[in-house]
Structure 1
Amino acid sequence: MPENMPGRINPEHITIVLNQPRYPENIGSGARAMRNMGFYNLIVVDPENFDLEKVEKLSTHAARDVVEKIQIFDNLQKALSPFNYVVGTTARLGGQRQVNSPSVMAEKLIPISKENNIAIVFGREDRGLSNEDIRLCHGLVNIPTADFSSLNLAQAVMVICYELFNAGTKKKHDFNPRLASCYELNGMYKDLKDVLIKISYINPENPDYWMNYIRKFFTRMNLRAREVGIIRGLIRQVNWYGQKMYKDGLDHKKNQEADL
């Protein structure tokens, strides 16, 4: 792309993820909305009713290529494992949630999309994404509305895809390297939680409460795969040293008892 052209989202690196959709018609309408905006990658997670005939009817022939490539998974964590950056959609604001508008989110994704696979996750029609689902996300986006805040799933997909399609800026973006995948990050968080419990840094009865803060800390850094590998190496070394000191303490105690 010439330098004097505005930066744009790389559509090949964008995947729309519908988590536990209830109605096949919404899947079809969502696929059609994606196709209108030039996006083709669609994942459906644990659908309540995946009636292909109804999906195809609402997607129309224009989005047949999107429907034919739909990937279906049984749980969200597995579906998101290969992605380097995940954005969750939410209607709830406040609390500890740092939420962007669709336009701001789209601008932020321009440089990331050059070298990274990005998932945009939509929750169930009746209750959206759970707190557990949101923990898998690097960022959150909210579609502002007037007094009536309930959007149809396909409408929400259209709004987000429109902003992604329309996003662009005249300034040259900095190089953005490949980020660690969700699979790599989840492995790091598991190792970190285990060792922090062992050294009594976090409460073993409620470790996820403290891990949420740690996740947010690392999420702000946009860790690369190599950096995750370094952190996991440090965690393994801390774990090894703790076990060694414990064993050395037992051996020292046995030697003392033997000398008595």
Structure 2
Amino acid sequence: MAETTEIPRDDTPAVILVEPQLAENIGMTARAMANFGLSDLRLVAPKNGWPKKGVREAASGATHVLDGARVYATVPEAIADLNFLLATTARERGQMKRVFAPDAAMAELVSRAGQRVGVMFGRERVGLSNDEVSFADAIVTFPVSPDFPSLNLAQAVLLVGYEWRKASGRAVLPFEGAMIAPPASRAALLSLFESLESALAGAGFYPPEKREIIARNMRDMLHRMAMTEQDVRTLRGALRALSRRRGEPSESERMVENGDGAAR
């Protein structure tokens, strides 16, 4: 199936990776960005140069993000055009800055319409330095388990991208799970109840003193299933097959015996 690329928009935040080391992490970051419509990737002094072998394979088709990536020697150069910058960190830095969870952080970025904004991510092993964090207006941290707080670089970008897409109003599901078949009519449900209760009575399912209570409970259960006309037909067909297997007369045969005319 052919891939489609969402057209980048000028109000999307920049993603700044500071001294990323592994080609796989950069490639998977590009993939995560493309998943949520981000395209402004900035690399600060990537270890062992750029481009890296294997980075395009790790991007799994998000090559437009890699092709547009810009490389900078220092953090100040990479963030010079931004009006508002967030720094991601997993630990408290002792700096007088606001601290946001990802959802609140992305709402803050979206509220700054017309400004250039960005999110900065640190090195795979040690994250951002305190000096680098000091360049940011605020901090983003993740509500992870304290028993295992470490996030992969691409995972962190994925979470931020997801929350940004929701906050910006672009998080539209690609398809809906609406019911295709119409709901069953009341007449169809009543007929099913009658068939089911008759079959169960014939099989000796009901204790005589509890038949009415059990029958009501089963009707409530079937109502909760919100069945369609097709569901009802399928269940009635199954009941007819079970009755024939036991040698009982079919529903149409019982109707004829009772003088109810032809089966409907």
Q: TM-score, normalised by structure 1?
A: 0.58
**Could you say which structure has the greater relative contact order, defined with CA pairs below 8 angstroms and 6 or more residues apart?**
1
- Name the structure where helix makes up a greater proportion of residues: 1
CA distance in 2, matches of 1:166, 1:43: 23
Query: Is 1:43 the counterpart of 2:21 in the alignment?
Result: no
How many residues of Structure 1 are paired with residues of Structure 2 in the alignment?
A: 158
Residue equivalent to 1:100: 100
Aligned to 2:19: 20
Q: Distance in 1 between matches of 2:106 and 2:121?
A: 16
Quote the residue 2:66 is aligned against.
Answer: 67
Listed as ranges, the matches of 1:79-94 within 5 Å are 79-93=78-92
Q: Tell me, yes or no, if the aligned pair for 2:100 and 2:139 is still in contact at 8 Å.
A: yes
Sort the Cα spacing of 1:126 and 1:69 in 2 relative to 1 into closer, same or farther, 3 A. same
Query: Cα distance, 1:108 vs. partner?
Result: 1.3
User: d(CA) in 1 for partners of 2:139 and 2:63?
Assistant: 29
Displacement after TM superposition at 1:23 (Å): 0.7
Cα pair distance change 1:11/1:29, threshold 3 Å:
farther
1:51 and 1:168 map into 2 onto residues whose CA distance is 31
Q: What amino acid maps onto 1:41 in structure 2?
A: D
For structure 1, which segment, 86-95 or 137-146, has the greater mean C-alpha deviation from structure 2 after superposition?
Answer: 86-95
CA deviations on 1:94-152 (whole Å, 9 max, x unpaired) are 6335311001111111120x211111100001111111101110111001111201111
**TM-score of the superposition, structure 2-length normalised?**
0.57
Cα distance in structure 1, aligned partners of 2:127 and 2:139: 12
Question: What's the CA shift for 1:11?
Answer: 6.1
Where do 1:132-151 residues align within 5 Å?
132-146=131-145, 147-151=147-151
Does structure 1 retain, via aligned residues, the 8 Å contact 2:11–2:115? no
The equivalent of 1:118 in structure 2 is 117
Separation in structure 2 between the aligned mates of residue 78 and residue 38 of structure 1, nearest angstrom: 24
Amino acid at match of 1:53: K
Q: What percent identity do the matched residue pairs reach?
A: 34
Could you tell me which runs of 5 or more consecutive residues in structure 1 were left unpaired when the two chains were aligned.
1-9, 170-260
| Partner SS, residue 53 of structure 2 | helix
Q: 2:109: which partner in 1?
A: 109
> Mapping of 1:48-59 within 5 angstroms?
48-49=47-48, 50-59=50-59
Distance of 1:166 and 1:31 partners within structure 2: 19
Q: Secondary structure at the match of 1:53?
A: coil
- 1:154 is matched with which residue? 154
- Against the structure 1 CA distance between its residues 74 and 168, is the aligned structure 2 distance closer, same or farther, given a 3 Å change threshold? closer
Gaps of 5+ in 2: 1-8, 170-264
